[in-house]
Structure 1
Amino acid sequence: MEKEAKSGVFGLGEKNVAYQKYFIGQSYLNSLAGGDDIDVNVANVTFEPGCRNNWHIHHDGYQILLVTGGEGWYQEAGKPARLLHAGDAVTIHEGVKHWHGATKDSWFSHVAITKGTSEWCEPVDDEAYAKLG
């Protein structure tokens, strides 16, 4: 799964330095589309095993995740985590607090289609994450 996630059709990208403070572990970002002239951002995000982003909320928009490689988790606040595999898609509506990231022992890649702004919240609790899977 590591090879699949790291060498997928959209590429690994660069270390995700700009958003590192909102992640536990190392992620990589490859911007695919977006910019000043449109209000939707499209990026391939790759997570090393154990890497996940903080809880966050999208405002004035939404996010769609298209899983392209590896295994990962998606969880909304108050709901159980959902195991994701290549080919899965997740639609995240405005105002829904959630997080996503790799499983403990798999790389994970998804294309994130995001409209609006993100409010970054607290990190995913290490103890709760360790109990997954």
Structure 2
Amino acid sequence: MNRFHALAPLALAALMAGCATPTANPPATPAPVSVLKDKDAARRAEFDTALSRWHGASLAELTAKLGKPTTVTRRGDGSTVYAFTRAAPTDPGTGQSRFACTVSYVVDDKTQRVQSHGMAGC
């Protein structure tokens, strides 16, 4: 397995930990919205690059590293989408998840190789 394939699960874990961990002492002056958007865009681009390293990997490698997919959806074009969702613990007050990230991989049914990926909520 390519050494970069190991980075995607770590990137997902770091991403989730960073978003789910409350700050003990928030800054007195929040950063401007434009700065936050730039940082978020850079973080998403870095995560997207890490996920793209799975392209060409086998389904067996993918599931060995990420575990059982949350959902599996067959498509009519000869491919299947394997989605993996990770969520932060729920808010005790509302019962809703504070953060959820879904990464989906499109796998060719014949070759059993990852063709592409997508992400939502990450």
* Structure ranking higher in strand proportion: 1
TM-score (norm 2): 0.29
User: What is the TM-score when the length of structure 1 is the normalising length?
Assistant: 0.27
Structure showing greater Rg: 2
Name whichever structure is richer in helix by fraction.
2
